[in-house]
């Protein structure tokens, strides 16, 4: 449709939070009572969200993507704990004067989303946890060596994204290349993330993964209807931890997408968007 | 094949354990290095195993079904704790002088199977946990009222099995009726279970379900390759607890069968047997 705002064309806006941070965000889609706020993965910026996924979600609701404190075009210094990232995200949400939201958290964004749901349960109507893991979950204490090496190359390229986000099968890698094409469509690009952001975020990831069986009991307090989803071969947040969240969150539904890794939601963008839209409408 | 021993024709044998209990069992199938021992559900007897499932498993390995202490044609008094049931099952296994087995535990039999794997890890090569739940799991403390009422009718009939084992959909109920037909094929029937067995087993089920987050950490010590499976609508051992086991058992694979309840393994007997055979052969 001529003139329709899409993920590729929507303008980037900024808003200052009570903490003095100037948050960069994009907001578009069809008006809905409750907007969907999306929380981005480790080292991701506004541009890393798959435009095809965003457009399919925005067809049925208003969506908001943002850079948290210190990330890319948002000012400030990236904190090194998930807890502070959650408080910073709440400052952004407060600046927008939102009092009821749906939340989609992907990977590190899913860690933050869990803390948001626990810190301010009355804010969150429904929750989607994609390719993520609970605090203290087994097998999460830092990434396996090849993923660590790939994510900590100082000049990561497209090959890095393909390696860490997609399964090591020809079909998944081909879907990854399609994602990269969509990823590059936007002209008005976000600022790149910095190595300081990467390192602070990885500190947060590792702390979150310190094994702690008792902390798993936190999930019992996430009482919102929750959709937990992942690929069948997530190398970053192991797929078993998606099952674990589905088992401990009282009102969760679980879906595992075939032939897919951490970036299952890019690979299966159409099916995942339809599942999310159905879940949020149910 | 003329004369071939099947689940419907295999003779019932007995063996006396070191505890003086005379265990009834059936053993048949193609010779294999490691036999598969199956642990039966609440109030089930030798006859309750679906012959179609058993025959498909027996085509690739030797299988053993048995009545635990006090159940149906096995002598003794049914204990009221899972722990004692596990020790009684080990006495039976010792009487057969088995030192390496694969285990398939269904429902209450899956509770016992977990304890066997924890009490004697060197005995168990691979583990299948079907329609079951971990000790202390959330939402397991006794069954919901309609299931309790159905299972505690003093004269349960075929309708009871259909209600508690199959999903409340026409397709699942039709599959339930097919199971009932196979269930009735055998002429040389086991003795019926008693109300005393039912009540002792339910005491064990309820104790197992007392919520205890710390007890969930026991699953980390089940290090065998494990296949956890269930229907998508288990009313007795809620499906979420299958996901939970898949999340906490270190080397588990999870499969949820569609349009099925607790008795998914009767309903999807062909697919489940193929999955189990592939898992045990992998």
CATH number of the domain residue A98 falls in:
3.40.50.1820
Query: Which two three-digit tokens encode residue A228?
Result: 């937990």
Whether the complex's predicted ipTM is more than 0.85 is answered with yes
In a domain, A232, yes or no: yes
Best of A219, A222, A243, A244 to disrupt the B interface (most B CBs within 10 Å) is A243
Report if residue A182 sits inside a domain.
yes
B257 within domain boundaries: yes
Instruction: Count how many pairs of residues, chain A against chain B, have C-beta atoms within 8 Å.
Output: 56
A1 within a domain of the structure (yes/no)? no
Inform me whether the pLDDT recorded for B277 exceeds 70: yes
Quick check: is B232 in a domain? yes
Residue ranges for chain A with pLDDT beneath 70: 1-3
Is residue B2 pLDDT above 70, yes or no?
A: no
Kindly tell me the burial class for residue A215, based on how many C-beta atoms sit within 10 Å of its own C-beta (0-12, 13-18, 19 or more). middle
Could you tell me if residue A264 is inside a domain?
yes
In this prediction, residue A156 carries a pLDDT of 81
**A139: chain B residues, CB-CB within 8 Å:** 250
Q: What totals of helices (H) and strands (E) does chain B contain, helices first?
A: 10, 8
Q: Is A237 on the interface with B (CB under 8 A)?
A: no
Mutate to test the interface with B, among A141, A247, A250, A258 (most CBs of B within 10 A): A247
Provide the b/e sequence for A144-153 (b: ≥16 CB within 10 Å): eeebeebbee
Nearest residue to B82 via CA among B218, B189, B281: B218
Supply the pLDDT for residue A4: 86
Calpha distance B112→B89 (Å, rounded):
8
Residue B1 has pLDDT above 80, yes or no: no
Pairing status of strand A62-66 against strand A22-29: antiparallel
CB of B129 within 8 Å of any CB in chain A?
no
Q: Which residues from B are below 8 Å from A220, CB to CB?
A: 138, 213
For residue B255, give the chain A residue with the closest CA: A256
DSSP class of residue B67 equals P
Print the domain residue range for B59.
13-281
The count of domains in chain A is 1
**Residue A221: CB atoms within 10 Å:** 12
Asked whether residue B156 carries a pLDDT value surpassing 90, the answer given is no
- Give B155 to chain A, closest Cα distance, Å: 34
pLDDT number for residue A1: 47
Question: Does pTM top 0.90 for this prediction?
Answer: yes
A141 touches chain B (CB under 8 A): no
Measure the CA dihedral B246/B249/B252/B255, to 10°: -20
Q: How far is CA B260 from CA B160, B186, B207, B230, in A?
A: 16, 25, 26, 8
Per-residue pLDDT of B193-233, as tens digits, reads 999 999 999 999 999 999 999 999 999 999 999 999 999 99
CB-CB neighbors (< 8 A) of B229 in chain A = none
Place of tokens 């396996």: A144
The CA-based angle A21-A27-A28, given to 5 degrees, is: 175
Per-residue pLDDT reduced to its tens digit, A166-179:
999 999 999 999 99
Mutate to test the interface with A, among B212, B237, B247 (most CBs of A within 10 A): B247
Residue of A nearest to B237 (CA): A247
B241 touching A, CB under 8 A? Answer: yes
Verify whether the Cβ–Cβ distance B217 to A213 is below 8 Å.
yes
> Could you tell me which chain A residue has the CA closest to the CA of B138?
A248
| Percent of all residues in chain B with a pLDDT value above 70, rounded to a whole number | 99
A40 located within any domain:
yes
Does residue A5 lie within any of the structural domains? no
Beta strands in chain A (DSSP E): 13-16, 22-29, 36-39, 62-66, 101-106, 124-130, 226-231, 252-257
Q: What is the pLDDT of residue B222?
A: 98
Closest CA–CA distance from residue B144 to any residue of chain A (Å): 16
């Amino acid at each position: 449709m001529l003139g329709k705002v899409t993920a590729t064309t929507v303008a980037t806006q900024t808003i200052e939070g009570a903490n003095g941070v100037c948050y960069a965000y994009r907001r578009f889609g069809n008006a809905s009572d409750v907007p969907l706020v999306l929380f981005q993965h480790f080292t991701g910026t506004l541009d890393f969200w798959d435009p095809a996924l965003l457009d399919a979600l925005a067809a049925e609701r208003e969506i908001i993507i943002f850079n948290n404190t210190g990330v890319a075009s948002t000012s400030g210094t990236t904190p090194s704990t998930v807890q502070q990232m959650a408080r910073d995200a709440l400052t952004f949400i407060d600046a927008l004067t939102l009092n009821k939201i749906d939340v989609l958290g992907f990977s590190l964004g899913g860690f933050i989303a869990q803390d948001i749901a626990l810190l301010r349960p009355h804010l969150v109507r429904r929750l989607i946890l994609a390719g993520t893991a609970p605090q203290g979950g087994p097998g999460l204490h830092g990434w396996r060596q090849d993923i660590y090496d790939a994510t900590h190359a100082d000049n990561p390229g497209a090959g890095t994204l393909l390696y860490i986000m997609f399964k090591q099968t020809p079909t998944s890698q081909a879907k990854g290349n399609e994602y990269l094409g969509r990823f590059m469509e936007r002209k008005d690009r976000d600022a790149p993330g910095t190595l300081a952001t990467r390192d602070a975020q990885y500190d947060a990831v590792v702390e979150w993964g310190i094994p702690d069986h008792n902390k798993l009991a936190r999930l019992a307090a996430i009482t919102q209807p929750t959709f937990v989803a992942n690929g069948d071969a997530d190398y970053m947040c192991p797929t078993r931890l998606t099952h674990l969240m589905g088992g401990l969150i009282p009102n969760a539904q679980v879906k595992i997408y075939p032939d897919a890794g951490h970036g299952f939601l890019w690979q299966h963008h159409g099916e995942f968007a339809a599942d999310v839209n159905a879940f949020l409408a149910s």
